[in-house]
Structure formats: C-alpha cells, structure tokens
Amino acid sequence: MLQGARHVHMAALNAAAESSGINIEIHELRKAADLSQAKPDALVFPGGESTTMRLTGNDAASRLLPAIFDWIRTDPTRPVLGTCAGAILLCDPRDGGEPLIAAEIDRNAFGSQVDSFQSALKSSLLARDFPGVFIRAPRFTNVGDSSEVVATLGEEVVGVRFGNRLALTFHPELSNDNGFHQWLLETTKEVTA
Ligand code: GLN
C-alpha cells in the first residue's frame, strides 16, 4: 500500500474471487509489522513507480520491502503477482540477494508516459489473448532458463513465471479480464490445500 495501483488490484482480486468461487481476505500492507500480523497466503506487488517504492519501502518508518523479500524467499512456493514496477522489484530487488524472478528487466524501456499504450497480447498461462495495458512499461532483456515465458506481445516477452511467482510488464488490474488474478487465487488454493 506504499505506492501505485493498489485499489484497482483489490477490486480485481475481489472480482477474481467472485468468478472463481474462492473466498479471500485482503490485507493492506504498509510496514513490516503488517506482514507478520496479516500472515498472507499470497502477495500482489502493484505497479507504480519502483524508485518511490524502494524509497518508501526501505524507509525506517516502513521496512516493508525487506520484510516482503524475506517473506517471499522463506518459502519459494508462496504465490506472488508483480505487475510493472512490481515486476521490476521482483527481478531486481537490489538488496544483495538473488533476484526473486530469474529475468533481467529494463525500466521505462518502452519510452516515457506518452509512449504508454494498450494492445492485445497472447498468454499461454491463460490460453487466450489478454488486453494489455502498458504504462511506462519495463522490458524483459533476458529470461533465465528456470523461468517460463507466459505472455508475449508479438516477439516481445511481457510475462514471466518463475515457479509460483509471476512478473508482468503490463497492468492486468486495469483491464476487464481478471484472469491473472484468478491464476493467483487458484495457485494459492493449491499451495494451501
Ligand atoms: N516506470 C515505472 C518504474 O520504473 C513502472 C511503471 C508502472 O508500474 N506502470 O517503476
């Protein structure tokens, strides 16, 4: 909850819960203690501005970012959805540890705000086309052997899955298809069963 498109993600999660029939409880995380209190089963890393997220999340008043990285690393099966800036943080945590998704990513690689665009993309994870919303989007520059490409825009890789962690360079929460949020809920259901 420190920055970015958080409320739209909550709406998308609620819509996905409704369509998949999976009951969810959403916890808003602002500081490290919120995470230990909430004990979530899965996590959404929203899009926004990764620089701001690094600053606010590493600030002594929050320390949410290191707590989240630690939470993810503690159990590699924990489902995580990172979108846009969230994908940047997963691929490039800059905390001295391993990337949380084995892929390299380049910030703002599609250009500035005026180069933001919408385009249908292909997703093997959902087995259908998906309405992609790209806002000052990053670009995957390298995908590790242990990662799977799950979404493409032409030749461009726009979605990478590393186990139960998913990094998307677009904003699925800003489209009317909640398939990726459903994937998160279904994966979480399997992991916690
Ligand atoms: N350009 C932003 C960054 O570098 C990401 C944009 C977004 O999340 N929509 O963090």
Pick the CATH number of 6-192 from 3.30.1780.10, 1.10.1040.10, 3.40.50.880, 3.40.50.720: 3.40.50.880
pLDDT over threshold 90, residue 20: yes
C-alpha distances out from residue 100 to 11, 96, 115, 178, Å: 26, 12, 28, 24
From the candidates 173, 181, 186, 190, which is the catalytic residue? 173
91 labelled catalytic: no
Whether ligand 1 lies within 6 angstroms of the CB of 90 is answered as no
| Separation of alpha carbons 145 and 101, rounded Å | 11
What does the buried/exposed string (b/e) look like for 142-174 if buried means 16 or more CB atoms within 10 Å of the residue's CB? ebeeebbebbebeebbbbbbbbbbbbbbbbbbb
Q: pLDDT tens across 96-153, in order?
A: 999 999 999 999 999 888 999 999 999 999 999 999 999 999 999 999 999 999 999 9
DSSP β-ladder status, 80-83 and 43-45:
parallel
**Portion of the chain with pLDDT greater than 90, in percent:** 96
49 labelled catalytic: no
Tell me how far the alpha carbon of residue 17 lies from the centroid of ligand 1, in angstroms: 26
- What predicted TM-score, i.e. pTM, was given to this entire model? 0.97
Q: pLDDT tens across 68-90, in order?
A: 999 999 999 999 999 999 999 99
Q: Which residues contact 122 (CB under 8 A, 6 or more apart)?
A: 129, 130, 151, 152, 153
27 labelled catalytic: no
Residue 4 sits at the vertex; the CA angle it makes with 29 and 130, to the nearest 5 degrees, is 110
| Separation of alpha carbons 156 and 160, rounded Å | 11
Whether ligand 1 lies within 6 angstroms of the CB of 135 is answered as yes
| pLDDT confidence tier of residue 58, bands split at 50, 70 and 90 | very high
Structure confidence at residue 112 (pLDDT)? 87
Residue 183, amino acid: W
Structure confidence at residue 106 (pLDDT)? 97
From the candidates 7, 9, 25, 84, which is the catalytic residue? 84
| pLDDT confidence tier of residue 157, bands split at 50, 70 and 90 | very high
